[in-house]
């Protein structure tokens, strides 16, 4: 029996989470889910957006599945996602980018992995008003975090039998900060002679991603570039409603839907649960449930290949629960 922390989240979060829970249980994985609120719901109930009970639950279970959390723009509380990564030191963000059968997209053959440093850069949130009309935002890059994420990328390359890691940076302009990130990458790469280490300036990398994405295998970026480029990569294979994501550290891992809470369609039961399901599949592999993960993935791919049961965002009419039912039915065939 696995104990897993479940954060259904806001908006479409609970809708997609309940479908994913149903599919995981139908695959025969025995899970005791510890359900927790975060963000606005937690603020209302407990007076804080990231309750200690939730953090303790993840620290105890070492693994969590998380739906999207609404973050107020420009005001209000700070991002729960960023807070969670900081509090648990989930330093590596991992996003496999792969097209699904029958889903219209620009690069159906694409298969790359984005590794993003998750704890520093401009996301350290160190902003202040210098004088009225002038704000300063500090970009923090450390040798420790840059070395550890580079090592994670190369280790992941080995684990997944990947051939190349490309670091994208702006060390031509930010010679000290991105320069340090690049130096650490190059130093770590020497320990992995079996894997090609390449680097590109991030603006060029973006153009190359749009024009010839197949040249990339694993892409390594600091926090802000990683945030932007990983969404760009999701767009290459059909969008945020489809790709999975994980935040991994020494203390545990949080597998998440990378899309937002989609307030425009929340409550209608029409959201696509694929992104969270794919994160759930990654999670099952992480906790050693490889057979169940393969079983769900095979069934999910079969449903996509048949193309009969599709949610609205990819041109179908199926409800969230109907899509989940189709996958469960396939698993039972």
Q: Site residues for ligand NAI, window 284-313 (CB under 6 A)?
A: 313
For ligand NAI, which is the closer residue by CB, 34 or 313?
Answer: 313
**DSSP tally for the chain: helices H, then strands E:** 11, 12
3-state secondary structure of 159: helix
- Minimum distance, C-beta of residue 71 to ligand NAI, in the bound complex (Å): 4
Ramachandran sector of residue 74 (left: φ over 0; alpha: ψ -120 to 50; beta: rest): left
- Minimum distance, C-beta of residue 42 to ligand NAI, in the bound complex (Å): 13
Pseudo-torsion of CA 321, 323, 328, 333, nearest 10°?
Answer: 140
Name the active-site residue from 123, 198, 225, 313: 123
Determine if 240 is a binding residue for ligand NAI (CB under 6 A).
yes
Q: Choose the stretch contacting ligand NAI; rule: CB under 6 A; options: 140-148, 149-157, 164-172, 254-262.
A: 254-262
Q: Site residues for ligand NAI, window 27-56 (CB under 6 A)?
A: none
- Minimum distance, C-beta of residue 161 to ligand NAI, in the bound complex (Å): 29
Q: Choose the stretch contacting ligand NAI; rule: CB under 6 A; options: 56-64, 99-107, 128-136, 253-261.
A: 253-261
3-state secondary structure of 288: coil
Name the active-site residue from 227, 231, 286, 294: 227
Is 203 tagged catalytic?
yes
Q: Are 159 and 125 in contact (CB under 8 A)?
A: no
Q: Choose the stretch contacting ligand NAI; rule: CB under 6 A; options: 27-35, 69-77, 119-127, 152-160.
A: 69-77
Distance from C-alpha of 90 to C-alpha of 254, rounded to nearest angstrom: 8
Contact pick of 57, 272, 278, 279 for ligand NAI (by CB under 6 A): 272
Is 227 tagged catalytic?
yes
Determine if 265 is a binding residue for ligand NAI (CB under 6 A).
yes
Q: What are phi and psi of 183, to 5 degrees?
A: -55, -45
Determine if 74 is a binding residue for ligand NAI (CB under 6 A).
no
User: Cβ contacts of residue 52 below 8 Å, gap of 6+?
Assistant: none
Which of 168, 184, 166, 187 lies closest to 176, judged by CA?
A: 184
Determine if 269 is a binding residue for ligand NAI (CB under 6 A).
no
Distance from C-alpha of 305 to C-alpha of 326, rounded to nearest angstrom: 12
Determine if 241 is a binding residue for ligand NAI (CB under 6 A).
yes
- Minimum distance, C-beta of residue 260 to ligand NAI, in the bound complex (Å): 2
Q: What are phi and psi of 248, to 5 degrees?
A: -125, 140
Q: Are 308 and 102 in contact (CB under 8 A)?
A: no
Q: Which residues on adjacent β-strands are paired with residue 31?
A: 2
Distance from C-alpha of 165 to C-alpha of 67, rounded to nearest angstrom: 29
For ligand NAI, which is the closer residue by CB, 141 or 242?
Answer: 242
Determine if 70 is a binding residue for ligand NAI (CB under 6 A).
yes
Cite the active site residues. Answer: 123, 170, 203, 227
Residues that bind ligand NAI (CB under 6 A): 12, 16, 68-71, 81, 240-241, 256, 258-265, 271-272, 275, 313
């Amino acid at each position: 029996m696995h104990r897993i922390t479940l954060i259904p989240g806001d908006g479409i979060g609970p809708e997609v989470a309940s479908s994913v829970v149903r599919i995981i249980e139908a695959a025969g994985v025995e899970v005791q889910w510890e359900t927790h609120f975060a963000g606005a719901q937690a603020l209302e109930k407990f007076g804080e957006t990231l309750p200690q009970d939730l953090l303790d639950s993840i620290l105890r279970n070492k693994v969590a599945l998380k739906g999207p959390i609404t973050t107020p723009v420009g005001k209000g509380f700070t991002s729960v996602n960023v807070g969670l990564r900081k509090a648990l030191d989930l330093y590596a963000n991992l996003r496999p980018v792969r097209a699904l059968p029958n889903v219209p997209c620009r690069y159906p053959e694409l298969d790359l992995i984005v590794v993003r440093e998750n704890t520093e850069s401009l996301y350290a949130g160190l902003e202040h008003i210098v004088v009225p009309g002038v704000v300063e935002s500090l970009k923090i890059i450390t040798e420790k975090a840059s070395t550890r994420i580079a090592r994670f990328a190369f280790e992941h390359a080995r684990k997944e039998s990947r051939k190349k890691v490309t670091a994208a940076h702006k060390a031509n302009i930010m010679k000290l900060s991105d320069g340090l990130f690049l130096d650490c990458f190059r130093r770590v790469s020497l320990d992995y002679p079996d894997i090609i280490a390449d680097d590109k300036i991030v603006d060029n990398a973006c153009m190359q991603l749009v024009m010839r994405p197949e040249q990339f295998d694993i892409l390594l970026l600091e926090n802000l570039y990683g945030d932007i480029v990983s969404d760009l990569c999701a767009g290459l294979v059909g969008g945020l409603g489809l790709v999975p994501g994980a935040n991994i550290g020494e203390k545990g891992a949080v597998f998440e839907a990378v899309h937002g809470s989609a307030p425009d369609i929340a409550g209608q039961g029409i959201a696509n649960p694929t992104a969270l399901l794919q994160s759930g599949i990654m999670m099952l592999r992480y906790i050693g449930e490889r057979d169940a993960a393969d079983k769900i993935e095979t069934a999910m791919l079969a449903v996509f290949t048949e193309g009969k049961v599709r949610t609205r965002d990819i041109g179908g009419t199926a409800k969230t629960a109907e899509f989940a039912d189709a996958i469960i039915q396939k698993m039972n065939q």
